[in-house]
Structure 1
């Protein structure tokens, strides 16, 4: 099944998605400590997408049954970012305001924070520390303990842990103000410009590059604490 966001189609802003209905089963590996190596990645967890129109993306995924765990909002409740979920964690897809459609990062989860630190140590030992873009640190949004990496092609990968359960039926969206410097950096190194400005272009389902539109709101223009770029 293939589709483009109907809210965005008129503005030619689409992030292509394909659905599948079956998958080959693998054996249970949760306690196979003997075969784990490196950062001990447990699962593919989420995608973070740069989109110029956060309200349109939010409305479309809400119509598909996604919940919203957290947002970043302005003083008049304008949306700068939204974290949305179907499984019972903080997010399966996050929308970050920015020129798009582009892929900001792919998130992979580990079970414990020391595995994120071990990942950083491995990159250091291999003299590949230049692939570490930011971290380790902890986000305010999602509570994630994170390490951002760039693969050899420049794509961004987040190795993270320590988000929280969202399965309660009355789970409420936590709304961060865009002026709160804890929102993306609870502690850790300050945000760097590439965090907001660089992302991976996407292709449509026929393999053609998608045109990129400028953002309606620019979070990086908000000058606040360690998380401002002004």
Structure 2
């Protein structure tokens, strides 16, 4: 679902209220990553709404994932192939890598390290320095920084091979199974949980490099 609006109530600007900042000092809600059964269809729909594509994961004619944007960053929405529709994660932007690491330190210091699902690490796609967390209800959150500017109208689409071990983690760390397989169900406009449709691609089945299995081919 995409929601359109033409005005919003203005509130106090807080970007220089350093005295109010706590924890990881999250700067803004940045993006949504959605698990969809048909990535080309999702891609075409968002492209028709004026979204542009920054990066993809591909294998020949097969599209495994896509990152799309309206603001001048890497993505406002990303699509990952899988049984869906489901919400993979909500991404929150922090200004510095130290704040991502501080997130991990805070979770460790209060005994909630089990809620750190993956990372910290560096994505190949988007260049983001990240950590993935699970909230008390099991929903996945990402705290990240260090993506790049996409305001150049000639910005080329960066295309990653699904067989490149750096695509999901630039340092080659293994991608755990839950990150590929688990996501949150979503509700439709009538508030009912949407039924899942099986995907036509499964990136986790390509066992190379960053996934900790198989041999690397490029």
**Aligning the two structures, in what range does the TM-score lie when normalised by the shorter sequence?**
over 0.9
Q: How far apart, in 2, do the equivalents of 1:214 and 1:124 lie? A: 37
Counterpart selection for 1:77 from 33, 38, 61: 61
Q: How far apart, in 2, do the equivalents of 1:27 and 1:79 lie? A: 42
Q: Does the 8 Å contact 2:173/2:211 carry over to 1? A: no
Map 1:1-230 to 2 at 5 A.
16-74=1-59, 76-187=60-171, 189-227=173-211
Q: Give the alignment's TM-score, normalised by structure 2.
A: 0.95
Q: How far apart, in 2, do the equivalents of 1:198 and 1:100 lie? A: 11
Report the more deviating stretch, 17-26 or 153-162. Answer: 17-26
Q: How far apart, in 2, do the equivalents of 1:162 and 1:193 lie? A: 25
Q: How far apart, in 2, do the equivalents of 1:226 and 1:91 lie? A: 22
Q: Give the alignment's TM-score, normalised by structure 1.
A: 0.90
Q: How far apart, in 2, do the equivalents of 1:37 and 1:28 lie? A: 17
Q: RMSD value over aligned CA atoms?
A: 1.2
Counterpart of 1:18 in 2: which secondary structure?
Answer: coil
Q: Does the 8 Å contact 1:192/1:229 carry over to 2? A: no
Q: Does the 8 Å contact 2:51/2:70 carry over to 1? A: yes
* Deviation per residue, 1:17-38 (Å, 9 max, x gap): 3323322222222222221100
Q: How far apart, in 2, do the equivalents of 1:144 and 1:226 lie? A: 16
Report the more deviating stretch, 183-192 or 139-148. Answer: 183-192
Q: Does the 8 Å contact 1:83/1:93 carry over to 2? A: yes
C-alpha displacement at 1:108, in angstroms?
A: 0.4
C-alpha displacement at 1:188, in angstroms?
A: 6.3
Q: Which runs of 5+ in 2 are unaligned?
A: none
* Deviation per residue, 1:168-214 (Å, 9 max, x gap): 01011000000000000102641000011000000101111101011
Q: Which runs of 5+ in 1 are unaligned?
A: 1-15
Q: Does the 8 Å contact 2:172/2:210 carry over to 1? A: no
Q: Does the 8 Å contact 1:136/1:188 carry over to 2? A: no
Q: How far apart, in 1, do the equivalents of 2:10 and 2:192 lie? A: 32
Q: How far apart, in 2, do the equivalents of 1:51 and 1:115 lie? A: 31
Q: Flag as ranges the 4+ runs of structure 1 deviating above 6 A.
A: none
Q: Does the 8 Å contact 1:88/1:166 carry over to 2? A: yes
Q: How far apart, in 2, do the equivalents of 1:228 and 1:190 lie? A: 5
